[in-house]
């Protein structure tokens, strides 16, 4: 089962910024134990562009599709046998990243 | 009730969860299990009066439900690879051996009480899947609209399937936390029965307290070594034992000091005390008791006293002190203060209660306790104001009637 694991940043309560060494170590472990499929940190939501080409011509707008206090700071994709395994890893991920984590299954 | 009706009711109580659990394991889908079990019981209602009750009702129901499930799967032609892929995860063997008594029903309970589901959802799902209550019954129990309750249960089943919430007993290292979660669900069901909310609701909902006790007894049979399970069961039994004495003929709540102790249920008290003694022996052997065991012990002190004046209040306070160390919540501090009033007088207790003002301003029992202490101190005017506030906040009809009488009796 694949899960999208989102790292949620909170502007009003930002986590610590020196997490990279711990995250790298955690990633090594995810790879070694066979859970790791993909991982990536994201640039700030201000750098996003939304494209809507459902009409006559493509419309570009500057900024993220939703303005909110919480935003996506990075994602993982994990392969895990069930939600219990994913939640256990996510609990560790939350500590490692010092941020909230959302776990959502792929269809 | 005829013999057949009785047999069907008994089979429903004893076999519902077993049928659901066996089918969930076989088909990996709670939805299929639920529908097939409901159909099997409907078939029993049709057939048993004419054909007679089968010699082994449980086996008959499981076989019938299995057939219904297979029919449905064939009908929907869902046995393709995609369906198999979406099946719930289950393990034939729990990760750690649980001893002789393992049971499919235990997996079912842990799935229904999974921490990834909202608390209210866990309660509803447990009552439906393990308790066998119908959706309208559950909706009535929690004063929710039937459609909303139905949706809640449907969404939960969909999440269990889509997110792959596993169908198994948690590993030994996770077990204590997960059992705590299960007990919280059962305690919530019991409390909603014991102090039912709603202006048109009976003050005590015996259907809910009985269901909570039945489910907790089941968990006790499945996890006989767990001290908190025993503690919660004892707590429920000792509370339930006072049920009939706690409400007057006119539907008014009767406080502990005014209850007819002869009306308490001696058999429930004996069973509760036996469990408390079992846990006291374990505590003496060095196993620290959890909150349910301590609450049960407090209730055992009350149910051991022939008279309110016989109550060993210093023992009650010592137990509350133990509880405060585990759970320093203001509600526990409030209950401790009620015992302090009996031992050290209302003035000492009031000082403690007043310190909880900020935390408990919206809690009816805080104002009711203050009102009673102020009354005993002869401060009628302040007492009246506190009763007013308590009446405003109380959601239980028996309690409202009791508080109103007490207020109107003030000089």
Please give the average per-residue pLDDT across B210-224, as a whole number: 89
Averaged pLDDT score across all residues of chain B? 89
pLDDT band with cut points at 50, 70 and 90 for residue B84: low
Query: B interface mutation test: which of A80, A83, A105 has the most B CBs within 10 A?
Result: A83
pLDDT of residue A68: 83
- 3-state class (DSSP) for residue B56: coil
- E strand or H helix that includes residue A11: none
Cα–Cα distance for residue pair B106/B234, rounded to 1 Å = 20
pLDDT tens-place string over residues B130-188:
988 889 888 877 778 999 999 999 999 999 999 999 998 888 888 888 999 899 999 98
Q: Is the pLDDT of residue B92 over 50?
A: no
Distance from CA of B116 to the nearest CA of A (A): 9
Interface test with A, best of B85, B86, B89 (most A CBs within 10 A): B89
> Which residues in chain B are closer than 8 Å to A103, comparing Cβ atoms?
163
Q: How far is CA A11 from the centre of its chain?
A: 15
Find chain B residues with C-beta within 8 A of A105's C-beta.
162-164
Given the candidates 1.25.40.10, 3.40.50.2000, 3.30.200.20, 3.40.50.300, the CATH classification of the domain at B317-411 is 1.25.40.10
Sign of CA dihedral B227, B228, B232, B238: positive
As a 3-state breakdown, chain A gives helix, strand, coil percent values, each rounded to 5, of 30, 35, 35
The length of chain B, given as a count of residues = 411
Question: What are the pLDDT digits (tens) for B302-347?
Answer: 999 988 889 999 999 999 999 999 989 999 999 999 999 999 999 9
Cα B29 to Cα B68, B88, B184, B404, distances in angstroms: 14, 6, 25, 51
Under 8 Å CB pairs connecting chains A and B tally to 25
Give the chain B residue nearest A102 (alpha carbons). Answer: B116
Greater model confidence, A65 or B237: B237
Tell which residue, B236, B336, B232, has the closest CA to residue B292.
B232
- Mean pLDDT (whole number) for B119-138: 90
- pLDDT at residue number B81: 53
Higher pLDDT among residues B386 and B84, named by residue: B386
Most confidently modeled of B77-81, B205-209, B369-373?
B369-373
Min distance A84 CA to chain B CA atoms (Å): 7
* Chain A residues interacting with chain B (CB cutoff of 8 angstroms): 1, 81-84, 87, 103-105, 107
Compare CB distances from B116 to A1, A83, A107 and report the shortest one's residue. A83
- Please state the separation of Cα B173 from the chain's center in Å: 25
Side-chain-facing half-sphere of A29: CA atoms under 13 Å: 10
| Both structure tokens of B373 | 């202490």
Q: Any chain A CB within 8 A of the CB of B177? A: no
Most confident residue range from B168-172, B191-195, B198-202, B370-374: B370-374
Chain B's closest residue to A88, CA to CA, is B174
Chain B residue whose CA is closest to A4: B163
Closest-CA distance of chain A to residue B372, Å? 44
Helix-helix angle B119-129:B146-162, to 10 degrees: 90
Residue of B nearest to A1 (CA): B164
Confidence at B75, pLDDT banded by 50, 70, 90: confident
pLDDT band of residue B88 (cuts 50, 70, 90) is: low
What is the fold, at CATH topology level, of the domain defined by B3-86?
Answer: Rna Polymerase Sigma Factor; Chain: A (1.10.1740)
Lookup: tokens for B313: 């209040």
pLDDT tier at B86, thresholds 50, 70, 90: very low
Indicate the pairing of strand A36-41 with strand A2-10.
Answer: unpaired
Residue A66 neighbours by CB under 8 Å, 6+ apart: none
Q: How far apart are CA B377 and CA B387, in angstroms?
A: 14
Q: Is the Cβ pair A84, B170 closer than 8 Å? A: yes
B48-62, B190-204, B271-285: the lowest-pLDDT one: B190-204
CB-CB neighbors (< 8 A) of B165 in chain A: 82-84
pLDDT exceeds 70 at position B102: no
Q: What is the pLDDT of residue B369?
A: 96
Q: Do A83 and B162 touch (CB under 8 A)?
A: no
Cβ of B166 within 8 Å of Cβ of A105? The answer is no
Q: Which residue pairs from B385-392 have beta carbons closer than 8 angstroms and sit at least 24 positions apart in sequence? A: B390/B364, B390/B365, B392/B364
Q: How confident is the model at residue B37 (pLDDT cuts 50, 70, 90)?
A: very high
| pLDDT of B313 | 96
What domains are there in chain A, each with its CATH number?
2-105 (3.30.70.1060)
Q: What is the DSSP letter of A39?
A: E
pLDDT tens digits in sequence order for chain A, 107 residues long: 999 999 999 877 766 778 889 999 999 999 999 999 999 999 988 899 999 999 999 999 998 888 888 999 999 999 999 999 999 999 999 999 999 999 999 99
Provide, as residue numbers in chain A, all residues whose Cβ is less than 8 Å from the Cβ of B170. Answer: 84
Measured from the Cβ of residue B53, the count of other Cβ atoms closer than 10 Å reads 18
Are the C-beta atoms of residues B18 and B10 closer than 8 Å to each other? no
In chain B, residues 96-125 whose CB comes closer than 8 Å to chain A: 114-116
Q: Which residues of B touch A79 (CB under 8 A)?
A: none
Which ipTM did the prediction report? 0.88
Cα B197 from Cα B222, distance rounded (Å): 31
Mutate to test the interface with A, among B86, B162, B163, B173 (most CBs of A within 10 A): B163
Token pair of A38 as six digits: 């993909």
**Euclidean distance between CA atoms A29 and A43, whole angstroms:** 24
CA B187, B189, B193, B195: dihedral to nearest 10 degrees?
Answer: 60
Residue A52, min C-alpha distance to chain B (Å): 30
């Amino acid at each position: 089962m694949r899960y999208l694991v989102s790292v949620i940043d909170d502007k009003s309560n930002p986590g610590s910024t020196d997490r990279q060494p711990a995250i790298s170590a955690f990633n090594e472990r995810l790879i070694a134990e066979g859970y790791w499929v993909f991982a990536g940190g994201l640039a700030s939501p201000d750098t996003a562009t939304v494209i809507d080409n459902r009409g006559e011509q493509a419309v570009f707008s500057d900024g993220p599709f939703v303005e909110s206090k919480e935003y996506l700071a990075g994602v993982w994709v994990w392969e895990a046998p069930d939600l219990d395994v994913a939640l256990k890893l996510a609990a560790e991920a939350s500590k490692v990243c010092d941020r909230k984590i959302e776990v959502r299954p792929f269809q | 009730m005829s013999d057949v009706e009785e047999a069907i009711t008994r089979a429903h109580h004893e076999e519902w969860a077993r049928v659901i659990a066996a089918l969930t394991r076989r088909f990996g889908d709670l939805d299929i299990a639920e529908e097939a079990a409901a159909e099997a019981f409907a078939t029993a209602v049709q057939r048993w009066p004419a054909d007679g009750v089968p010699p082994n009702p449980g086996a008959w129901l499981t076989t019938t439900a299995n057939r219904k499930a297979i029919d449905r799967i064939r009908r929907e032609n869902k046995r393709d690879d995609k369906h198999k892929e979406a099946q719930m995860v289950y393990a034939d063997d729990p990760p750690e051996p649980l001893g002789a008594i393992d049971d499919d029903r235990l997996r079912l309970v842990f799935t229904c009480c999974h921490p990834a589901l909202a608390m209210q959802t866990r309660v509803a799902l447990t009552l439906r899947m393990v308790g066998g209550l119908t959706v309208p019954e559950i909706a009535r129990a929690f004063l929710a609209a039937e459609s909303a309750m139905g949706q809640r249960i449907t969404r939960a089943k969909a999440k269990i399937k889509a997110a792959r919430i596993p169908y198994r007993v948690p590993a030994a290292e996770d077990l204590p936390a997960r059992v705590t979660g299960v007990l919280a669900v059962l305690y919530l069901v019991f409390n909603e029965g014991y102090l039912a909310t709603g202006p048109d609701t009976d003050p005590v909902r015996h259907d809910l307290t009985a269901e909570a006790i039945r489910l907790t007894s089941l968990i006790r049979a499945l996890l006989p070594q767990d001290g908190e399970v025993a503690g919660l069961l004892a707590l429920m039994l000792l509370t339930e034992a006072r049920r009939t004495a706690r409400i007057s003929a006119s539907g008014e709540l009767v406080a502990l000091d005014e209850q007819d102790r002869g009306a308490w249920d001696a058999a429930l008290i004996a069973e509760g005390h036996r469990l408390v003694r079992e846990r006291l022996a374990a505590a003496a052997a060095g196993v620290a008791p959890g909150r349910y065991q301590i609450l049960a012990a407090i209730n055992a002190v009350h149910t051991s006293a022939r008279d309110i004046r016989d109550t060993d209040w210093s023992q009650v306070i010592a137990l509350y002190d133990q509880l405060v160390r585990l759970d320093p919540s203001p509600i526990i501090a409030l209950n401790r203060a009620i015992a302090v009033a009996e031992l050290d007088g209302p003035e000492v207790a009031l000082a403690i209660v007043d310190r909880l003002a900020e935390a408990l301003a919206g809690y009816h029992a805080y104002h009711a306790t203050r009102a009673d202490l102020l009354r005993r101190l002869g401060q009628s005017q302040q007492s009246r104001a506190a009763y007013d506030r308590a009446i405003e906040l109380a959601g239980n009809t028996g309690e409202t009637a009791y508080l109103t009488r007490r207020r109107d009796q003030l000089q």
